[in-house]
Structure 1
Amino acid sequence: MKSIRVAVAVAALGVAVTACSSPVQAGSAAIVGNERIAASDLNTHVKQLEEALVKAKIPQSQLQLPVTQYVLLQMVNVEQFRQLAAKAGARVTDGEIDQFIAAQGGLEALEQKTLVQGVPPAYTRQWLGTSIAISKLMQQYGGGTDQAAQQRGQERLIKEAAAIKITYSPRYGTFDPNKGFVDAGRFGRPAAAAQG
Structure 2
Amino acid sequence: MNRSRRVALLFAAVVTFGGLSACEPSQLGAAAIVEDQRITVSEIQGYLDQVRDQRKEYGLPTQLDRDAARVEVERRVLNLVFERAAQQMNIRVTEAEIEKTRAAETRSADEIAELAAQNNVTADSLDEVYRRFTIERLISEAIEQQLPNAGEVQLNEEFARRLVAVAESLRIKVNPRYGTFDPKVGQVIATQWDFLKAPKG
Q: Tell me the TM-score normalized by structure 2.
A: 0.70
**Which residue number in structure 1 is paired with residue 101 of structure 2?**
100
Check whether the contact 1:33–1:80 (CA below 8 A) recurs between aligned residues: no
**Which residue number in structure 1 is paired with residue 166 of structure 2?**
160
Find the aligned partners of 2:181 and 2:136 in 1 and give their Cα distance. 22
Check whether the contact 2:34–2:172 (CA below 8 A) recurs between aligned residues: yes
**Which residue number in structure 1 is paired with residue 198 of structure 2?**
none
Question: Where in structure 1 are there 5+ consecutive unaligned residues?
Answer: 186-196
Percent identical across equivalent pairs?
16
Measure how far apart 1:37 and its partner are: 1.1
1:140 to 125, 142, 146: 142
Find the aligned partners of 1:184 and 1:44 in 2 and give their Cα distance. 25
**Which residue number in structure 2 is paired with residue 188 of structure 1?**
none
Find the aligned partners of 1:115 and 1:140 in 2 and give their Cα distance. 32
Find the aligned partners of 2:11 and 2:86 in 1 and give their Cα distance. 15
1 or 2, which has the higher helix percentage? 1
Indicate whether 1:34 and 2:36 are aligned. Answer: yes
Find the aligned partners of 2:192 and 2:110 in 1 and give their Cα distance. 32
Q: Which residue identity is paired with 1:8?
A: A
RMSD: 3.1
Indicate whether 1:5 and 2:9 are aligned. Answer: yes
**Which residue number in structure 2 is paired with residue 182 of structure 1?**
190
Find the aligned partners of 1:116 and 1:146 in 2 and give their Cα distance. 35
Higher relative contact order (CA 8 A, sep 6+): 2
Measure how far apart 1:136 and its partner are: 1.6
Measure how far apart 1:51 and its partner are: 1.8
Measure how far apart 1:12 and its partner are: 2.7
**Which residue number in structure 2 is paired with residue 88 of structure 1?**
89
Find the aligned partners of 1:169 and 1:57 in 2 and give their Cα distance. 32
Q: Which residue identity is paired with 1:89?
A: N
Higher alpha-carbon deviation: 175-184 or 90-99? 175-184
Higher alpha-carbon deviation: 45-54 or 139-148? 139-148
Q: Please give the per-residue CA displacement for 1:111-170, whole angstroms capped at 9, x wherever unaligned.
A: 433445443221111122122112222332353484022322222222223222211122
Q: How does 1:62-141 map to 2 (within 5 A)?
A: 65-104=66-105, 105-141=107-143
Find the aligned partners of 2:84 and 2:117 in 1 and give their Cα distance. 24
Count of residue correspondences? 177
Question: Where in structure 2 are there 5+ consecutive unaligned residues?
Answer: 194-201
Larger radius of gyration: 2
Partner SS, residue 8 of structure 1 = coil
